[in-house]
A and B are shown apart, each in its own frame.
Chain A
């Protein structure tokens, strides 16, 4: 699709542009720059788990911060907003008798089995994999999770993923946080440097940590082509700094600014700078506001989040850009009792796309489009051990045959519409207490089923080659292990 000569040329012009933006976005956080420059960055949206290194540091079982990982409890939210530092001993010399340093390193691996209703076309199947019924280790990660020094902490994940055999710096969130008390109100405030908008969010309603928490690789089980910008488009390809405030355990406010890397940086990191629509011009603002109220065991959160970016359609920031605005609203209801825990989540994102750049390049049919993404899910967790989750998703918007080139249904050409359900049943045997031989072992053994009513615009023959939406229905077995 992309002319390499053009991309290389345009890239030179865009390089300084993007680097400057990223540097501005860093603010004072040189630490993050060091890490990102020192490490490779590619990032498909993938989940992380209850980190054994967090458990080691806080002295708490996983179930204190997770109803069923990676869903957070109010304590989990505070631990995250507090900069992952609670319980850390990495700050000043100890007094006699105080505990020694904990090791902030953890590992994770996800062996899995993926079955789709109708196997893939051999031409679409990754090399070395079957057209259907694949059993393999989908992801293996190493983490730094916990305090770095005093009020500075991080959750950083390096992942090796298949198919594709990619090594990349996955979700990374580095924070400096502190607490104080102002006029009778507890305040947690801090600064976050991260590489994926919403990865810093403490609720499981925003894209980075939303349900489904773990899913089959999209190379082996097709997923809808359309999605809003904030739902993972920039993950790992951007750096941003945000300032946040959490007042009285209820009001959360955050403002952040993201910048993309320049072409040369991306190339040096082994990333494809021409990867369509994954870079933007200048800085992209991100905002988040949420209010959580609790009544004993019950809590209700109402919030909003969003992002604006001048997206470069083919990665060339000096060419005309698309102006993309995402505005989201979300809500979470949580009940955490002694034995039972219930969580209901709602997220709605409206995206307005002014496609000046794409239209000029012949990549979009319309000058502006809109797209909506709705996600509703509910989880029940029994005693931290068994988790049942059901979720509904609906992506819809106006048709644009050039932009949504995969939507080839003769009846509904160029429609981004997809909707369906995801069901997940999981067993977490060591959520409350790890096995005695190695107490830091944690596991989520689960099976999920994804059902599509509509896929890329149609329920039948969505690709013009007689593939139906239900052919992509996916059964996914996983053993999500952290140690």
Chain B
């Protein structure tokens, strides 16, 4: 068909939309996940906090922040295996989770990947704790998708280490099921490309902050002692671990 000149007439456009920013819209789906009062800690307005409406509104606010995480990390924190591997957060220990958020705020992490974690700077400590608790109880199935051939070698390294190469068994700290504990992260089900990238580039990915960086500093010599093929084997084993 004929394409005409689409321009016709002229009128002033009012950015009515701007004002819609202040219109109350209803968020019925998924917004009202039950959040225990404990997640919010003490409030300066205890009377307001007690009201059901206020609690629900806070739940909505937290839910919105959670969705920001979920946009990349997946609805159940299972991670994203696209052009940029985004780690699994599901089942992660809350302490480790909060430590990493702090590392982003203090710029000990995140200098070397293209996604910007500056949003974390805008999260109060109560919100951080609530997010950590939320992801810690999720347990989606791992992605896997690593070479099955490598799994048995990876399992051996994980459970027994390689004393001749000064590599202790991973399970000593990370737990027999790689479930993690306190500041030591859960590794079970972590994405294969993510684990590989972290271990191969330890100093860039996780080493910022040097010896002050707690458990990351402990991991440094171990990561350096592992060869790339050993790293791939361990990562493959972990990627299937439920």
Q: Residues of A at under 8 Å CB distance from B?
A: 31, 34-35, 38-40, 42-45, 58-61, 63-64, 73-75, 78-79, 82, 85-99, 104-105, 142, 144, 147-152, 154, 156, 158-159, 161, 164-169, 172, 176, 178-181, 184, 186-187, 218-219, 224-229, 231-233, 235-236, 249, 269-272, 275-278, 294, 296-299, 311, 322, 324, 334-338, 351, 353, 371, 403-405, 432
Contacts and interface: CB of A to CB of B under 8 A. Distances in A.
A93 B57 contact: yes
Contacts of B165: none
Contact of A95 (B17, B80, B126): B126
B7 A166 contact: yes
Contacts of A94: 61, 124
A97 B124 contact: yes
Contact of A184 (B13, B68, B81, B141): B141
Given A31-B23, A61-B114, 16 more contacts: A34-B16, A59-B119, A60-B115, A74-B82, A75-B72, A93-B58, A97-B124, A149-B23, A150-B27, A152-B27, A158-B15, A166-B9, A167-B12, A179-B71, A184-B140, A233-B1
Most buried by B among A86, A337, A353, A404: A86
28 contacts: A31-B20, A31-B23, A39-B16, A40-B12, A63-B114, A74-B82, A75-B71, A87-B68, A90-B64, A92-B62, A92-B63, A98-B122, A98-B127, A144-B18, A144-B20, A150-B64, A167-B11, A179-B71, A181-B75, A224-B3, A228-B1, A232-B6, A269-B9, A270-B10, A275-B4, A278-B4, A297-B83, A299-B83
Contacts of A278: 4, 6
Q: Is the interface of A mostly helix, strand, loop or mixed?
A: loop
Contacts of B14: 38-39
Contacts of A226: 1-3
B165 to A, nearest CB: 29
A95 B61 contact: yes
B61 A42 contact: no
Given A91-B61, A96-B124, A232 B1 contact: no
B60 A150 contact: yes
Interface string B31-75: 100000000100010000000001001111111110110111011
Contacts of A218: 5
B95 interface: no
B163 interface: no
A324 B74 CA distance: 41
Nearest to A294: B82
A152 B8 CA distance: 31
B83 A249 contact: no
A161 B61 CA distance: 39
B166 interface: no
A279 to B, nearest CB: 12
A404 B2 contact: yes
A294 B83 contact: yes
Given A167-B11, A180-B75, A104 B21 contact: yes
A351 B3 CA distance: 14
Contacts of A277: 1-2, 4
Interface residues of B, number: 70
Given A40-B13, A149-B21, A351-B1, A98 B123 contact: yes
B71 to A, nearest CB: 5
B8 A403 contact: no
- The 3 closest A-B CB pairs, nearest first, are A97-B124, A99-B122, A92-B61
Nearest to A165: B10
B2 A403 contact: yes
B39 to A, nearest CB: 9
B13 A89 contact: no
B212 interface: no
A187 B30 CA distance: 13
B126 to A, nearest CB: 5
A74 to B, nearest CB: 5
Contacts of B9: 42, 166, 269-272
A179 to B, nearest CB: 5
B23 A148 contact: yes
Interface in B130-167: 130, 140-141
Contacts of B126: 95-97
A262 B20 CA distance: 25
Nearest to A105: B18
Nearest to A233: B3
B64 A59 contact: no
A147 B40 CA distance: 24
Contact of A40 (B4, B11, B21, B27): B11
B107 interface: no
Contacts of A334: 83
B82 A181 contact: no
A159 B13 CA distance: 8
Contacts of B224: none
Contact of A42 (B4, B10, B80): B10
B60 A92 contact: yes
Contact of A60 (B54, B116, B123, B193): B116
Contacts of A95: 40, 58, 61-62, 124, 126-127, 130
